[in-house]
Amino acid sequence: MKSFVFPEFQIIRDEEKCGQCRGCERQCAFGTHTYDPVQDRLISDDYKCVGCQRCVIFCPKNAIVVRPTPSFYRPNASWSREKLEDLKKQAETGGVILTGCGSDKPFRIYWDHIVLNASQVTNPSIDPLREPMELRTFLGAKPDMMDISAKDGDVEIKTKLSPNLMVQTPILFSAMSYGAISYNAFRSLATAACKSGTYFNTGEGGLPREMREEFGRCAIVQVASGRFGIDAEYLNCAQAVEIKVGQGAKPGIGGHLPGEKVSAAVAETRMIPMGTDAISPAPHHDIYSIEDLSMLIFALKEATNYEKPISVKIAAVHNFAAIASGIVRAGADIIAIDGLRGGTGAAPKAIRDNVGIPIELAISSLDRRLRREGIRNRCSIVAAGGIRCSSDVIKAIALGADAVYIGSAALIAMGCTLCQKCYTGKCNWGICTQDPRLSGRLNVDIASQRLSNLITAWSHEISEMLGGMGINALESLRGNRDHLRGVGLYEWELDVLGIKGAGE
């Protein structure tokens, strides 16, 4: 059938500069560039280009430009080009439109409507280069009070404490499984997490055996609806266990790792036969209610001898705050909430762009809910989905999060350009693929260095902003909405965020 869809990108090759080295041909897994020996020149097929910019960056002669094509259709506010073309694709295939990465739709990004405070006169700002600035954070349940016995200056703690995760900076790597991402990408995240005093999350793909001893100390292992890759050692080598209930990019639906991505190593790690589809069902089939969840939480606590905090990750949806409160009462030590703009390796576009609520609103309403119920100290909140920079992190914390997960941001640090083709398994950047030719492009030393540089850079910026507010410990900013003001928001939005308007 002849496709009526226009190419999304246009490839412009400067023939003067091109040295016919065929580098671009090798770089592109989508087969965009081919060499014509007769003419001794490279031919590019715009239709195949996904706009990942790999060939552009790696062309030794800087001879290629790839840019989005303008729309050729008559302008129509209702029928945008994307709507027209998605419809055409479905008419041509009869299939669900798949996509990758977080939603690119123009939902209001509240981060960009919130401004931070700074000290002037009455309270000195603090220079982080001269004074200590503390970002250390503990994730897990805290008791309501501490019972101690003091005898002759010798103090004993009598209260039994829950296990907590200590992070040196409130930024963790979000769940991305080995299988969805390449071994090198996975290992880069693990290496960087250990180096930066934070944690990576295995996602639902298991933790390869040879990585357990070295990287278990900075791993959060996930238990999800497919139960892939779980054994006692997997649970116990990590520092925390996360039950994944939902994901911001695709609340309410499961996951599907196609058989072609299930290589021998992935199969071994996931504990499934090679080449079979790895399907994570939409719900956990042993969790149809909150009491079922509680049983799983305690099963995992038993399995880990009550030595690890248990996190429950849910997508931020309409009534999630009440659900999260139930989850805390069900025994969870950490609630991870994933917002509307959270990323994914593969999701139906209709779901990704239409289900869930923005993370900023979710953080604030969850924090408020737990405070009102007097159980805020019984769990930590880790926020995910759309954290792009250090100021997003600090705003998330002032709205009530304890820490954030970053997924897309981490991938971008490794080279990702958000081309949204993760589901094809052909990632030219070697991140979201199991093709050894492609994944070999990602050098673990370099990628992990880029990741830990990112953490370092953001931590410095957070310290600067914190010092500017006259605060020298991050814990004094947590839930401290006093330091935030809204710009250009409606009254109801300010109400949900719990912040004043600028100038108020």
Partner 1 sequence: MPRIRRELYSKEICACSIFGAMNRDSERFTGAGVMKAIANMHVRGNGLGGGFAAYGIYPQYKDYYAFHLMFTGKSPQAKLSAKKELDAFLCQKFDVVYDEEIPHGDEATVSDPPLVWRYFVLPKKQGEDPSLSDEDYIVENIMLVNTRIENAHVFSSGKNMGCFKGVGYPEDIGEYFMLDKLYSAYAWTAHGRFPTNTQAWWGGAHPFSLLDTTIVHNGEISSYGTNRWYLEMYGYACTLQTDTEVIAYAADLLMRRQKLPIEIVAKILAPPIWDAIDQMNEKEKKLLTTLRMVYAPLLMNGPFALIIGQTGRMIGLTDRIRLRPITAATRGEMFYLSSEEASIRLISPQLDRVWTPNGGEPVIGELNSMRKVLQ
Binding site for partner 1 (CB under 8 A): 119, 121-124, 126, 131-132, 134, 136, 138, 142-143, 145-148, 150, 153, 155, 157, 161, 164, 368, 371, 374, 376-377, 398, 469-473, 475-483, 492, 494-500, 504
Q: In the bound complex, what is the minimum distance in angstroms from residue 492's beta carbon to partner 1?
A: 7
Q: Which is closer to partner 1, CB of 29 or CB of 477?
A: 477
Q: Which is closer to partner 1, CB of 239 or CB of 247?
A: 239
Q: In the bound complex, what is the minimum distance in angstroms from residue 494's beta carbon to partner 1?
A: 5
Q: In the bound complex, what is the minimum distance in angstroms from residue 495's beta carbon to partner 1?
A: 5
Q: In the bound complex, what is the minimum distance in angstroms from residue 143's beta carbon to partner 1?
A: 6
Give the rounded distance of the alpha carbon of 23 from its chain centre.
32
3-state secondary structure (DSSP) of residue 52 = coil
Q: In the bound complex, what is the minimum distance in angstroms from residue 498's beta carbon to partner 1?
A: 5
Q: Dihedrals φ, ψ of 280, to 5°?
A: -95, 115
Strand order of the β-sheet with 500-501 is 114-116, 484-486, 500-501
Q: If we measure between CA atoms, which residue out of 227, 234, 197 comes closest to residue 308?
A: 234
Q: In the bound complex, what is the minimum distance in angstroms from residue 215's beta carbon to partner 1?
A: 23
End-to-end CA distance of the chain: 61
Q: Are 339 and 386 in contact, with CB atoms under 8 Å apart? A: yes
Q: Which is closer to partner 1, CB of 225 or CB of 364?
A: 364
Q: Which is closer to partner 1, CB of 240 or CB of 432?
A: 240
CB burial string 145-171: b at 16+ within 10 A, e below = eeeeeeeeeeeeeeeeeebbbebebbb
Q: In the bound complex, what is the minimum distance in angstroms from residue 261's beta carbon to partner 1?
A: 41
Q: Which is closer to partner 1, CB of 36 or CB of 495?
A: 495
Helices (H), 200-343: 209-215, 232-237, 264-270, 290-303, 320-329
Q: Dihedrals φ, ψ of 302, to 5°?
A: -60, -45
With a CB cutoff of 8 Å and minimum separation 6, the contacts of 405 are: 172, 173, 174, 175, 201, 336, 338, 382, 383, 384, 387
- Cα–Cα dist 218/197, whole Å: 8
Q: Which is closer to partner 1, CB of 263 or CB of 480?
A: 480
Q: Which is closer to partner 1, CB of 135 or CB of 422?
A: 135
